[in-house]
Amino acid sequence: MHKDLQESFGGYTINMLEQYLDNHYDIHEDYEFSMTLCNKVARIMKDAVSGKLDRDDAAMGLLGLKSEANNQEFRIIKSMKFMIELLPQHRPSEEPNEMTLCSRYLNAFLLPLFDDPKNGTLFQWDDSINPEVGATSATISRRRPDNIITVMNGEAFDYSRGYGEVKCHTQAKNKASIAKDLVQLGVFAKNCIDVHNMKAVLTFQAIGRKVTFFITKLMGDGVYTMYEIGEFNTPGSLQETLQLLGYFDNLHLLLHAYDKHCVRLDTEDAQKLKEMKRATLPTPDRDAITKTTTNNKRRSISKHPA
C-alpha cells in the first residue's frame, strides 16, 4: 500500500480493515478440495503427463469424476481437463504473444472456472464496450476490457460479473501501463456496482501467466474496496499442470467468494446502498491527476514481484 494511504488511514485502521475483509470473504474458512478426489485427479494427470494415458482418455477420466464432486470442485476439474486438451507437452522456448496467451493458456485455465452458458453466464475475450455504458447516461469509461464475464437476459447481454486485463510477458516491466490497467479494472467494477446494483464484482489482472484476482465491493458510505483474493500461475505446458494440484483449496475459496458475492442485490438491499454510491471520476479528470512521467526504476506498489 502506498505510504500516503498508510499515513492517511493509519496502520491500525488498515490492519483492522484487512481483518474485516478476510472475515467478510471467508479467507480463513476451510474450503477444502476433497483429498480423495484430489488424489484421483492427480493420478490421471500424472498418467497423462507421463504418456501412460492418452490425452483424450485422461480428459474423459476427469469428466467421469463429476458424480463425486460438488459444483466448485468439478469446475476446477474441468479446468484441468481443458489444459490436458490445449497445452503443449513442454513449455515453448519463446513466451506467447497476447493473443496466444489469452486464447490458449489463460482460456484453458480460466474459462471452465467461470463460464456457465447453461445459466446464461459467458466468460469471453471481447473487444466490445461493456454493458454498463449503454445502461446509463452517466459519464463512465468506454474503454474496452480484455475479458468480460457477462450474464445474458434471453438473447441480450444484461450485466457483468467480472472483468479482466492482460499484458503479455514482454510488457511485464512496463509498470505504468500495468498500474493503469489495475486502476481501470477498479473503474469497470465500480461502474458495474453502481449501474447494476451488484453485491460485488470480480476482476483479474494477468501479467504473462501470473493471474491476480480481486473483488470490488461498496462497503460503506462512498467507500469501494478492491481486495486481492488470490494469485495463481497459469501452467505453460502439460507438465506444469501438476503444480496446480497444490492450489486446489485456494481455487475452491476463489470460486466460493465469486459465487457468493458477485451477484445482484435484491431490491431492498439495493435501495439501502443507493445513497452510499458516488459518481465515477471522469476519465479526463482522472488523467489530470496521474503523473505524466514514467520511470521503470521507480518502485511500484501495485505490482507483484516477477
In the chain, domain spans: 31-288
Q: Is 259 left (phi over 0), alpha (psi -120 to 50) or beta?
A: alpha
pLDDT of residue 306: 55
Which stretches in the chain have pLDDT values below 50? 137-142
Which is it for strands 121-125 and 147-153: parallel, antiparallel or unpaired? antiparallel
Judge contact between 59 and 44, C-beta under 8 A: no
Sheet-wide strand order for 201-207: 121-125, 147-153, 156-167, 201-207, 210-220, 223-233
Cα–Cα distance, 196 to 241 (Å, whole number): 37
162: its cell numbers: 467480472
pLDDT of residue 129: 52
pLDDT of residue 127: 62
pTM of the predicted model as reported, rounded to 2 decimal places: 0.90
Per DSSP, the three-state class of 17 is helix
Q: Read off the pLDDT of residues 55-86 as tens digits, 9 standing for 90 and up.
A: 999 999 999 999 999 999 999 999 999 999 99
